[in-house]
Amino acid sequence: MFLIVSICSLSVLAMPQWASAPPNQPGYLIGIGIGDDVVKSKQAAIADIANALNSNVSSSISSTVKTSGMAGSLDTLSTNSVVSEGVLLPKISWDKIDADNGIVYSMAKVRTADVVELYESNLSIALKPFNNILTKQKIDLNEYLFLLANQQSLALSATRAGAISSLSATAAGYHQNIETLYSKQNEFIGSTCFNVKKSNHRMADKIYLPSIESAIQSSRFTLRSSNNCIPVKFRAKTERTGKTVANVTMQIHIGQPATVSKVIKFKGQSNGSYKSAMMDAADNFANYFIDDKRLITSLLNESGNTIEIGL
């Protein structure tokens, strides 16, 4: 059983015994809430239960609370589910609600078995699209991109599976499956190479091609001039504004046939030559696709068909 008690920074003069020393009820999760009205008190109690399942619970909880009276806990209705930073909760019962000196104390309770059932059902649905990938010894580019596109969903499912893995062998199995998916993703990165093809435009190949290679390496992939590597093709058009600004429109295609493609617009400027402005544009391109904005991730996740850099 999980038992969490949250004490708000309020002046409490006579806290009820059940609030200061909550009862031990095997098979249930219990939360104690304190607030200056019924709604806030209940929200605090819900957050306490959620915090037992997820230490990263937000203080902002989406809930609707209806009550027929301050002490009439048996007549109190709550939402059937509460979601707070990925935490799921089934129907909540309110065993006690007391008030003293303008402060409201609430006791929320949910059945552990109901929580486990809710989580298992959610995980089953969320992870079903990945079943085929789990059967593969090695994944291909399309499957890697699918995993990449669903990183947030996988991370949320991992959190939920981990939250109840000690209570559910099924959830522990789901958590193991998620770890396997991450391993397959990392194995793909470690075993896959890319080959950036020349565009047959002498200046573009000299200035922009190395920046594309740098951006791909920032995504932790290897570069090789081999037909066994995934091809990356590009076309770049550079327009001059005055003598010092180079405006570049580049179209990139990855895979054969192209699995993902995007138009990328960027620019560079220089106090010197136009070639220096092109080189500045190439640097801006390479510097953009680092850290959290890696090239392949951006090509996949950026909305629309065009990425604009510094425009």
Indicate if 197 and 236 belong to the same structural domain.
yes
Weakest mean pLDDT among 38-42, 60-64, 91-95, 133-137: 60-64
Q: What is the mean pLDDT of the chain?
A: 84
Q: pLDDT-based confidence at 241, cuts 50/70/90?
A: confident
CA 170-84-301 angle, to 5 degrees, is 85
Higher-scoring residue by pLDDT: 303, 175: 175
- Among 232, 231, 214, which residue's Cα sits nearest to residue 290? 214
Q: For residues 173-186, give the mean pLDDT.
A: 96
Q: Provide the percentage of residues in the chain whose pLDDT is more than 90.
A: 64
Weakest mean pLDDT among 9-23, 156-170, 180-194, 278-292: 9-23
- Among 112, 139, 154, where does a domain finish? 112
Residue with tokens 């002490």: 71
- Among 191, 211, 239, where does a domain finish? 191
Q: For residues 106-120, give the mean pLDDT.
A: 95
Q: Which pTM does this prediction carry?
A: 0.76
Indicate if 15 and 96 belong to the same structural domain.
yes
Residue 100's alpha-carbon distances to 10, 46, 67, 166, 306, in angstroms, are 12, 20, 18, 38, 60
Residue 87 sits in a domain of what CATH number? 3.10.28.20
91: pLDDT strictly greater than 80: yes
pLDDT at residue 55 in the model: 55
pLDDT at residue 11 in the model: 43
194: pLDDT strictly greater than 80: yes
Q: What is the DSSP string of 76-120?
A: -EE-S-EEETTEEE---EEEEEEEETTEEEEEEEEEHHHHHHHHH
Indicate if 105 and 133 belong to the same structural domain.
no
From its phi and psi, is residue 200 left (phi > 0), alpha (psi between -120 and 50) or beta? left
d(CA 104, CA 90): 23
Residue 259 sits in a domain of what CATH number? 3.30.160
d(CA 108, CA 20): 14
- The 10 Å Cβ neighbour count of residue 179 is 12
pLDDT at residue 71 in the model: 34
Indicate if 162 and 226 belong to the same structural domain.
no
pLDDT at residue 30 in the model: 93
Q: For residues 203-232, give the mean pLDDT.
A: 94
Indicate if 236 and 252 belong to the same structural domain.
yes
- β-pairing, 28-35 vs 3-5, is parallel
User: How many domains are there within the chain?
Assistant: 3
pLDDT at residue 299 in the model: 85
- Among 53, 57, 54, 56, which residue's Cα sits nearest to residue 44? 57
Which span out of 8-12, 44-48, 278-282 was modeled with the highest average pLDDT?
278-282
145: pLDDT strictly greater than 80: yes
Q: Cis omega (within 30 of 0) on the bond before 257?
A: yes
pLDDT at residue 298 in the model: 86
Q: For residues 231-258, give the mean pLDDT.
A: 93
Domain containing 125 equals 115-191
Supply the DSSP symbol for 293.
S
84: pLDDT strictly greater than 70: no
Indicate if 95 and 123 belong to the same structural domain.
no
Indicate if 100 and 64 belong to the same structural domain.
yes
Indicate if 132 and 38 belong to the same structural domain.
no
Indicate if 303 and 197 belong to the same structural domain.
yes
67: pLDDT strictly greater than 70: no
Bridge partners of 265, per DSSP, are 249, 308
Note whether 38 and 65 are within 8 A (CB).
Answer: yes
Q: Does residue 264 sit in helix, strand or coil?
A: strand
Indicate if 124 and 158 belong to the same structural domain.
yes
Indicate if 149 and 229 belong to the same structural domain.
no
pLDDT at residue 301 in the model: 75
Indicate if 286 and 298 belong to the same structural domain.
yes
Note whether 164 and 174 are within 8 A (CB).
Answer: no
pLDDT at residue 70 in the model: 35
- Among 125, 91, 99, 87, which residue's Cα sits nearest to residue 40? 99
Weakest mean pLDDT among 63-72, 134-143, 254-263, 275-284: 63-72
Side-chain-facing half-sphere of 105: CA atoms under 13 Å = 20
- Among 162, 191, 220, where does a domain finish? 191
pLDDT at residue 293 in the model: 81
